[in-house]
Amino acid sequence: MLFYIFFNKWVIDMEIKGPKVKDYIKKFIVEPQKKVQLKKFDSGWVQNETLKALSEDAAKDLLEKKLARDRASLADAQELLAAAHEYGVLIVLQGMDTAGKDGTIRHVMSGVNPQGCEVHGFKVPSAEEHAHDFLWRYYDVLPERGMIGIFNRSYYEDVLVVRVHPERMEALPKKLGPDAKGFWEGRYKDINAFEKHLVKNGTVILKFFLHISKDEQKNRLLDRLQNKDKYWKFSTADLAERQYWDQYTKTYEEMLSATSTEYAPWFVVPADYKWMARTFVAEVVTSAIVGLNLSYPKVSDEQIKQLMVAKKKLESE
Ligand code: ADP
């Protein structure tokens, strides 16, 4: 009996193991159940110190070879993911305004076959979305087997922005709403259960918090105001949200502590240097897919025979 219980637990744990990552990445994973203090994660950490002093473009030029290698490895990994058709990959991107979510998506996407990747951005929910449970709008657009799905913002907004701005919360029955005891803990538990369910059904979940410092956000906002081509990127809403920096930090810390699990870990990505954040995300995604040890579908002897018949037919045309 004891052996049965042990074996059963082992089998379940095996199925819901987390992704494989490179060694340098490990220190940026939020340990499950550990209280997070974001100031202990260095947003300005880089692998290559000499690049720090360079402008973004100069760093990019120097890194171009590495970035190209990253893109090629990711493209290979994605092709294998699609061919094996066993797992889907869900990439969740969160971060303060200007943290670099869009640029990271462009970088990660640029190498992969567009047919194998889908991006979904989530804005303020519509009236229809607010009329359903908070996970409803996300469920329908989860990645299928063989696909990479990127969520630019996600169901984590439902424990972040609505906590900092309670007026943006959907109308729940009073007894069940945010004033009820244990409401937010309940949402964290729901999210953990939702993710466990997805992982057990073949979705690899990789969650990235793009971590920038408040000073770096100021630089990026100013950059948008100093450069005519970037005016369109500037939003006064971003400036208004900046006033809530400390509240967001606290809310992020609580969320990260409660929802980083072995099977769906949070990565706190050092994102003050854009090239660092992009390489980081590309490497995690690639090594997570490679770590699945997938193989291309085997072609049977019978199928080979049929292929040879087709080849002969074409050649004799
Ligand atoms: P982004 O900043 O991602 O480029 P927008 O500027 O359009 O895109 O911002 C989207 C807005 O939608 C953000 O202010 C975000 O907080 C808000 N939002 C996203 N999800 C939710 C949600 N579930 N509830 C309330 N607001 C949300």
Q: What is the pLDDT of residue 164?
A: 97
Rounded CA-CA distance 249/81 in Å is 35
- How close is the Cα of 284 to the center of ligand 1, in Å? 25
Rounded CA-CA distance 45/276 in Å is 8
Hey, whose CA ends up nearest to atom 12 of ligand 1? 123
Q: Of all atoms in ligand 1, which is nearest to the CA of residue 161? A: 16
Question: Rounded mean pLDDT of the chain?
Answer: 92
The tokens of 52 are what? 């720090």
Query: 4 pLDDT exceeds 70?
Result: no
- How close is the Cα of 122 to the center of ligand 1, in Å? 6
Q: Of all atoms in ligand 1, which is nearest to the CA of residue 158? A: 23
What topology does CATH give the domain 2-316? Rossmann fold (3.40.50)
Rounded CA-CA distance 246/164 in Å is 10
Query: 3 pLDDT exceeds 80?
Result: no
Phi, psi of 120 (to 5 degrees): -125, 125
Query: 15 pLDDT exceeds 60?
Result: no
Q: Of all atoms in ligand 1, which is nearest to the CA of residue 154? A: 20
Contacts of 285 (CB under 8 A, 6+ apart): 74, 77, 89, 91, 108, 148, 206
- How close is the Cα of 288 to the center of ligand 1, in Å? 28
pLDDT tens per residue, range 249-290:
999 999 999 999 999 999 999 999 999 999 999 999 999 999
Tell which wins on pLDDT, 102 or 13.
102
- How close is the Cα of 124 to the center of ligand 1, in Å? 5
Query: 5 pLDDT exceeds 70?
Result: no
Q: Of all atoms in ligand 1, which is nearest to the CA of residue 121? A: 3
- How close is the Cα of 40 to the center of ligand 1, in Å? 27
pLDDT tens per residue, range 137-194:
999 999 999 999 999 999 999 999 999 999 999 999 999 999 999 999 999 999 999 9
What angle (nearest 5°) sits at the alpha carbon of residue 246, between those of residues 241 and 252?
Answer: 90
Q: Which of 101, 153, 164, 238 to mutate to test the pocket of ligand 1 (most atoms within 8 A of CB)?
A: 153
Residue 291: which of 85, 151, 81 has the closest Cα? 81
The tokens of 67 are what? 């970035």
Q: What is the DSSP string of 229-244?
A: GGGGG--HHHHHHHTT
Domain coordinates in residue numbering, the chain: 2-316
- How close is the Cα of 117 to the center of ligand 1, in Å? 22
Hey, whose CA ends up nearest to atom 11 of ligand 1? 123
Q: What is the pLDDT of residue 110?
A: 87
Tell which wins on pLDDT, 213 or 4.
213
Give the containing element (helix H, strand E) for 92: strand 88-95
Residue 86: which of 239, 257, 295 has the closest Cα? 295
Ligand 1, pocket residues at CB < 6 Å: 97, 122-125, 152-153, 157-158, 161-162, 168, 235
Q: What is the pLDDT of residue 281?
A: 95
